[in-house]
Each structure stands twice: as structure tokens, then as C-alpha cells.
Structure 1
Amino acid sequence: MRIWIFALTLAVFITPAIAHDVQPTGLVNIQASASVEVATDTMQAVIAVEAEHYDPVILAETINKKMAWALATAKPYSMVKVKGGQYSSHQKYHNRIFKAWRGTQTITLESKNSAKLGKLIGLLQKKLLIKSLRYHVSKEKIKSVNKTLVKQAIVNFKEQAQVITRGFDKSKYVIHQINVNTNNRRQPVYYAKSRMMADSMVAEAAPAQLQQNSSTIQVNINGSIRLIN
């Protein structure tokens, strides 16, 4: 169930009469906001292949084979978006003596079907390292919720404008300037970091156990009105 929360902050500043100020007098600054807590609907996993070898060519081949296996394993899961990451490597030293090359490559998995993605992660855990698991709100859901929040924030703004107008014994107001901010970042809810299940520890890969959470989406409106007698 969604829990709607409408937060409102008011800042009132009457513009002082300044001889050389070209702005009109009687300006009032107002801030209004509307927010809602929504359930996260998208799960994302970042999984990596990490290996070491003194020969960089063999190292790259080893990682490529594991990545090919991972992509082939993920292919039947059509509801999971798969995005490959860049390959990187660096030299490892001990007491200033070269020991090996270490390479890493990641893939990002994302799906709204957490059960399917959890099962796929369980399979990939046999050979790959889980760097992070998280839930977040999808862009589509944020866009849909923002439409409702913008309407409510506008109502809040107008209500405060009316209260201020009557409070200062003015007959009406006009909007001087207004800004609407819907820049909601997808706040992640982290589940785990850096997990790996060795082949010898499991006879059969088990689905990853994940729990959804909620995230707050907010729309802010700030602007100024001019009071008119």
C-alpha cells in the first residue's frame, strides 16, 4: 500500500524597497513539496569475474571463457536485461617483485522479476563474484508518480499563495517566478556486497534471497509571487 506524504515548507520574504533595485516590490518567496513512499520494483546485480595469471594473454582467455559461460547461462532468462562491463587488469607485486596480472570484468543484470533474477544469480554464483545486489525504483515508475506529485505540489503552492495574500490584506497575487524540480535520483536499497559461493560448497545453486524495500519520491516547487492591492 502506498503511503502518501505531503510535506510543505514556506519561506516568506518581503522584498525591501531599494532605490536602485529594478525588481518589483511586494515579492514573496514560497517553497512547496509533495512526496510519496513507493515500493522498489527493479532489482539490479553487478557480478564480476576475477582471475590472476602471470601471462596476460592466458588471463584474458580465462576471463573471456567465464564471461561467455555467464552470458550463455543468462540467455534463457529473457526478462533479465544483461549489460557487459569493461575488462581491466593490473600488475601485482610483492616486495617490489612482479607476481601476476590480475584481471576483472563485470556484467550488470537488471529485472523487475526478482524471482527470475534471483534464480539466475544463484546459478552464476558458482563461478562469479557478486559485487552488489540492490533494489531501486524504475524510471518508468518515477515518471508516473511524478505526474501526480507535480499536481499536488502545485495545489500546495497555490494554497500557500492564497493564505499569504489574505494574510497581508491584499486582493490578489500574480506569479513572478516558478521552478519545478522533479530530479529524483533512483535511491538504491543495498542487499549485499562481494559474495561468492565456491563450487565445493554447493551441490546445486540456490536462488539469491532478496527483500524489497521502499523509496521516497519527492517533487519540489519554489518560486515567488507578487502581492497586488
Structure 2
Amino acid sequence: MKYPFWLLLAACMSSVHAADGANTRREGIVVDLNAEASRLAPNDLARAQAFVEFGDATPGVLAKKVNTVIQAALATARPYANVKVRSGNTSTYPVYGKSGRTIESWRMRSELLLESRDQAALSELLGKLQSQMAVGQLTLEPSEDATREAENAAIADAIAAFNARAKIVAGSLGGNWRILQMNVNNTSGMPPPRPLMQRNKVAVAAAPMEDMAIEAGESRVSVNISGQIEIDRK
């Protein structure tokens, strides 16, 4: 007796699934485990925002004032090869009179964004720039290299903690254990920047200021290990 092809195919697939189910059936006890570890990473990357903001009745005159300061600041920063400098946001907006309908003047703000792992050079440059611009924000955080190094060390610690917990559980149940699966997660991601200062005042000093003091400190990088172990029954 001949059977249709689709019926034979269905019978074969049913046999395969039955075999797969038999292969994945566990004889031991499956236990979910978690472990976490963290390491400190040095805040070796500094970022700063310097800005200038002026007001004037004429937009063209205002733009010239702001651009003059920005160009002078870029010239001041040029000798500092270890400091990356790029343009930030630039905005111009009207200032209305008491009636709220008439524009009395204009305000313009322009930013420079600075970044460096040479914190001494950045500190010195910021001190000079404060004779022309205001410092809006200064933050410290670990660089990618520092974060990766701390994360790798934390992974090793977390795996060791996972294995230690597995031994405790298996010993309590009186059996041998093996890992079925393991997931490694960076629970903190890139550590949040550590703000050192934020200044909203619009001020341009008359003379260069002292180097800006920077205390780097450290940030904590955390890793979580989750997985399953199987404990053989004796």
C-alpha cells in the first residue's frame, strides 16, 4: 500500500521531534543562578564645554562679536595637540520688549566642545579660555579602553563567583554539577559622566585665570552573570 508523500513527511518530522525531546530531557536538577562583580575604572577622559554669549541690537554686529571670540579661542587651543576641540551648538534668538511683540535686541550663544585624556593640558587650556569664554560644564568618565579593562576583570570575578555559588548549591544537594548555559551582561554600560561643575553665568574675565583644578577619581563598572547549571542525582 502506497502512502501520500505529505503523510510520510509528517511521520518523519514527528519522529525527529520525538528524538529531539528525548535528547533534551534532563535527568538531573536544573538550577538558575546569578552572580555579580564590579571593578573601579579610572576617570581618565575629561570633556568640557566652553561658550560665549552676547547681546546686541543688530544681528550682524552680534554675529561678528561672537565669531571673533570663537576664532580667538580656537587659536588659543591650536597648540594643544592632545586636546580635541570641535564646534558645539550655535543659536541666535530675539529678545522682546515688555509688550512681547517688539524685538528690542538679539542674543547669540556659541559653544566649543573639548575632550582629552591629558587632563593637565585640558586644565591649562580651560584656564586660558576663561579670559574669553565661560565654562559651562566639565565632566570626567572612563575612556573606552579603561572601561573595557575594568569590565574584563569584573567578568573574571563574576564567573568565579558564579562557579562558587554552583559548588555551594551542588554540595548542598549532594551531586555533581555542570553549566548548561551562561549569559554575561554589563549591567552598568558606559559609566555615567561625573560632573565636576556647571556654570550658567555669561561672563568673560578680563585676564587669564589659573589652571582649572581637576580631580579625576574613579567610576564603578559592574558585570552580571546569569545562567543555568544541572546537578546530577546520585
Mark yes or no: TM-score above 0.5: yes
| Alignment-mate amino acid for residue 205 of structure 2 | D
Say yes or no: does 1:152 pair with 2:157.
yes
Say yes or no: does 1:81 pair with 2:84.
yes
1:13 paired residue number: none
2:109 paired residue number: 104
Say yes or no: does 1:36 pair with 2:36.
no
Contact 1:165 1:173 in 2 (8 A): no
Contact 2:191 2:220 in 1 (8 A): no
Residue 147 of structure 1 deviates from its aligned partner by 1.6
| Alignment-mate amino acid for residue 78 of structure 1 | A
- The one of 209, 212, 218 equivalent to 2:213 is 209
| Residue pairs, 1:42-121, within 5 angstroms | 42-95=45-98, 96=100, 97-121=102-126
Q: Distance in 2 between matches of 1:27 and 1:131?
A: 55
Residue 32 of structure 1 deviates from its aligned partner by 1.0
- The one of 187, 192, 204 equivalent to 1:187 is 192
Q: Distance in 1 between matches of 2:25 and 2:205?
A: 72
1:11 paired residue number: none
Deviation string for 1:139-169 (max 9, x for gaps)? 1111122222212211111121121122122
* Count of residues paired in the alignment: 205
- Structure 1, unmatched stretches of 5+, are 1-21
Q: Distance in 1 between matches of 2:184 and 2:121?
A: 38
Contact 1:125 1:196 in 2 (8 A): no
TM-score (norm 1): 0.79
Residue 23 of structure 1 deviates from its aligned partner by 9.3
Residue 26 of structure 1 deviates from its aligned partner by 3.7
| Alignment-mate amino acid for residue 38 of structure 2 | S
* CA pair 174-208 structure 1, distance change in 2 beyond 3 A: closer
| Alignment-mate amino acid for residue 120 of structure 1 | L
Deviation string for 1:27-83 (max 9, x for gaps)? 322221111223321222111121222333332332222111111110000011112
Bigger shift: residues 190-199 or 48-57: 190-199
Structure 1 vs Structure 2 CA RMSD: 2.3
Q: Distance in 1 between matches of 2:73 and 2:150?
A: 35
* CA pair 168-53 structure 1, distance change in 2 beyond 3 A: same
Q: Distance in 1 between matches of 2:56 and 2:171?
A: 76
Contact 2:42 2:146 in 1 (8 A): no
Say yes or no: does 1:199 pair with 2:209.
no
Partner-residue secondary structure (3-state), 1:100: strand
Contact 2:134 2:204 in 1 (8 A): no
TM-score (norm 2): 0.78
Contact 1:174 1:227 in 2 (8 A): no
Identity of aligned residues (%): 25
* CA pair 173-57 structure 1, distance change in 2 beyond 3 A: same
* CA pair 228-174 structure 1, distance change in 2 beyond 3 A: farther
Report which of the two structures shows the higher radius of gyration computed on alpha carbons.
2
Bigger shift: residues 186-195 or 208-217: 186-195
Q: Distance in 2 between matches of 1:66 and 1:91?
A: 21
Partner-residue secondary structure (3-state), 1:179: strand
Q: Distance in 2 between matches of 1:208 and 1:224?
A: 51
2:18 paired residue number: none
Q: Distance in 2 between matches of 1:109 and 1:211?
A: 17
